[in-house]
Amino acid sequence: MRLLSQLAIGEHAIISAIEAEESLYHRLSALGFRVGKTLSIMRRANFNGPLHVRLGTTDVILRDTEAARIHVQNDSLANKP
Amino acid sequence: MKRIALLGMPNTGKSTLFNRISGASARVGNWPGITVDLMSAKVLLGGHIAELVDLPGIYDLHGFSDDEQVVRHFLANNPLDLAIVLLNSSQIDRQLSLLLQIKKLNIPMVLALNMSDEAKKAGISIDIDQLAKSLAMPVLQISAKYGEGLPKALQAAAAVINQAQTASDPARISLALEEDQKIEKEMESLLAKYVHIPSTLSESSTDKLDKILLHKWLGLPLFFLAMYVLFQFIFAAGKPLQDGLAWALQLLRSSMLEPLFAGSPTWLSGLLLDGIYNGVATVAAFVPIIVLFFLVMSMVEDSGYLSRAAFLMDALMAKMGLDGRGFVMMLMGFGCNVPALMGTRMMRSRPMRLLTMLVIPLSLCSARLQVFIFMITALFSASQAPLVLFALYLMSFVTMFLTALLFQGQFKNKEPFILELPPYRFPTLRQIVLRGWLEVKHFLNRASKFIVIGVVLVWALTNFPSNVPPASAGTYAGQLGALFAPVLDPLGINNQLAIALIFGFVAKEIVVGALAVIYGLQGDALMVQMASQIDWVQAMSFMLFALIYTPCLSTIATLRNESKSLGFMWLSLAWSLGLAWLVSFVFYQTARALGF
């Protein structure tokens, strides 16, 4: 079990839990962050800038503060090189 | 009259669809239950005149952002005969939830699926007929950008309205909005049955572009280069247009208006020509630059590059309580503060929007540049000139960052930074022109009233009492200059410069002209005269003050209009005046103490 903010670039993972207050939870779920969904890390901006995450057909950027609210587990199928 | 609302998520082409249906007839209006203005337009639909309202784009009917609350309050206070819900076909897997949320409110509905070409490319297929049957509402594929499928969609909308279904019941809706369960499950089953999405997407052209434009080290330099090119374009294309318009307006005055008023009393022609006409002409000369700004801005915004710029600059801006989008608006401010202030509308969090709006008036706009170039030419050598100008630009950045750092505690934004990165899109010409035109109309409407009043006031101040020469020390303006002397003398700003600063309060464009009136000289003679009256330290102090104290009345009016808060307008005004005084004071006294 890790946090979204700890993933490396190019890694795939499955969302296992979202810890957020109601308004943030709604925002995240409306953008596609739901438990069980697969996501991948596209890139991170320099100087510890935001993360660029892809969920299905949607690309989202978010700061570490928000990414640390999302728990993920390894996606064993997708992480094969 | 029938009422129709347009609903959908951000970045689905909702505004494009609204503009396409309404043409240029849209207006801004107030609605019961909400405090923000919404765009609406009268449209002919199935033999009825219907009112089409463009509601803000939202992700979630049960969310708690400003926009989401606006939509809920609107629905709970205004009966609707029809809701047109626009979804992006290629993201239907997460957008369908909004449709189902609205469906629960028992509003007659039509579902329009936009961007079906993008969905097709991604291999997504949607069984339209079965989906429509299951949802019990018409479902239509359209292209908001090119207008394809639009007539059919409007026919379907007219049919729903003509079935004489009763309008939505606001009271029941406010009750229904309490519960939002079951939706997730229903959505999942619909997606499983009627939508097929391939598990892996091939690398699109957006991905390829992102690899370069969002590159770890190349991204920012490329962004600055792109901004530089855009600014160059705006000035290169805007300046001749502005000069041409100013020339035409001057010609109109000298060849038509002046002979026309030659026979009327001096005070009347003075008021009409020197007061109102000059005022309106000043605003009109703004127009070409404003138009170009909006054209370029809507192009950048619709292309999807702005979200990328936000991604690249966010780390730095976060340290000042702003985010990446704020940086883009600061850059816009270097051309003209007014459209930059309007551009902050895209921010969802009000505290962050206010902090950005507090910072923007400090960016060295093109009107101030004009004043500085005049002063620098008069008082500095050709080799010093670029350095002085560079120092002023640097000062502009320093004051902006300082302001953001100092005020970020007051404008703590509660909202997290989560932003969707839309794929790159080429906006159509029609889209850009229509949007530019609407913004320009609003700008002219507001700015013209303000400038006319301001200019009449300044004219009166320099022309009364009528027994002394205009703009002399005996006039009200002269007396005002003397009144401000105790405050401005410690900055090295003399009475004549003080009067120019009062003029500059209306618009910086007037400052150079005001100095010409005050000294009674023009061109080179004026520069020689000024160089003999003040030294470079005074000139620098004057320029620093002019840079910071306040951009112009249009900016103040825009601050008031965009923030919808008189208190915020006064805060911005007081802060910039105070900061201007402090900076000039420190500079002038230090320079003098060092023996300059």
Domain ranges of chain B: 2-196
Identify whether the C-beta of residue B327 lies closer than 8 Å to the C-beta of residue B313: yes
pLDDT at A77 over 60: no
The answer to whether residue A58 neighbours chain B at the CB level (below 8 Å) is yes
Give which of B220, B305, B418, B421 to mutate to test A binding, by max A Cβ within 10 Å: B418
pLDDT of residue A80: 43
Chain-centroid distance of CA B507 in Å reads 18
Nearest CA in chain A to B62: A26
Reported as a pLDDT band with limits 50, 70 and 90, residue A79 is very low
The answer to whether residue A57 neighbours chain B at the CB level (below 8 Å) is yes
Instruction: Tell me, yes or no, whether A80 lies in a domain.
Output: no
- Rounded to the nearest 5°, which phi and psi values hold at B532? -80, -20
pLDDT of residue B550: 85
pLDDT of residue B76: 83
CB atoms within 10 A of CB B73: 18
| Mean pLDDT value of segment A33-50 | 89
Residue A29 belongs to domain with CATH number? 2.30.30.90
Q: How far apart are CA B86 and CA B115, in angstroms?
A: 10
Complex prediction ipTM: 0.91
How does DSSP assign B210-232, residue by residue?
Answer: HHHHT-TTTHHHHHHHHHHHHHH
Structure tokens, B163:
């079935």
**E-only strand ranges, B407-546:** 418-420
CB atoms within 10 A of CB B324: 25
Range of the domain at A54: 2-74
User: What is the number of residues in chain B?
Assistant: 596
Identify whether the C-beta of residue B516 lies closer than 8 Å to the C-beta of residue B522: yes
pLDDT of residue B112: 95
Q: How far apart are CA B510 and CA B459, in angstroms?
A: 12
The answer to whether residue A50 neighbours chain B at the CB level (below 8 Å) is yes
Query: Can you give the pLDDT of all 596 residues of chain B as single tens digits?
Result: 889 999 998 778 887 888 888 876 666 666 666 666 788 888 888 788 888 999 988 888 887 666 787 888 888 888 899 999 999 998 898 899 999 999 988 899 999 999 888 888 888 899 999 999 999 999 999 988 888 898 999 999 998 888 866 778 887 877 776 654 456 567 778 888 888 766 555 567 888 899 999 998 999 899 888 877 886 787 678 778 878 887 888 888 888 888 888 888 888 887 787 767 766 676 676 677 767 877 887 787 778 888 898 899 888 888 888 887 788 788 778 777 888 898 888 777 889 899 999 999 999 987 788 788 888 888 998 888 888 988 998 899 899 999 999 999 888 876 678 888 888 887 778 877 887 787 677 667 655 666 676 667 777 787 778 777 776 778 888 888 888 889 999 999 988 788 888 878 877 877 776 676 666 566 667 788 888 889 999 999 999 999 999 888 889 988 998 999 999 999 999 999 999 999 999 999 999 999 88
- Please count the structural domains in chain A: 1
Q: E strand or H helix at B42, and its extent?
A: strand B38-45
User: What is the crossing angle of helices B128-135 and B183-194, to 10°?
Assistant: 150
Smallest Cβ–Cβ distance between A45 and the set B124, B307, B314 belongs to B314
SS3 content of chain A, % helix, strand, coil (to 5): 20, 40, 40
Please tell me the CATH code under which domain B2-196 is placed. Answer: 3.40.50.300
Instruction: Tell me, yes or no, whether A79 lies in a domain.
Output: no
Peptide bond into B416 cis (omega under 30): no
- Chain A nearest-CA distance from B199, in A, is 8
Instruction: Tell me, yes or no, whether A62 lies in a domain.
Output: yes
Smallest Cβ–Cβ distance between B421 and the set A22, A47, A61 belongs to A61
pLDDT of residue B521: 65
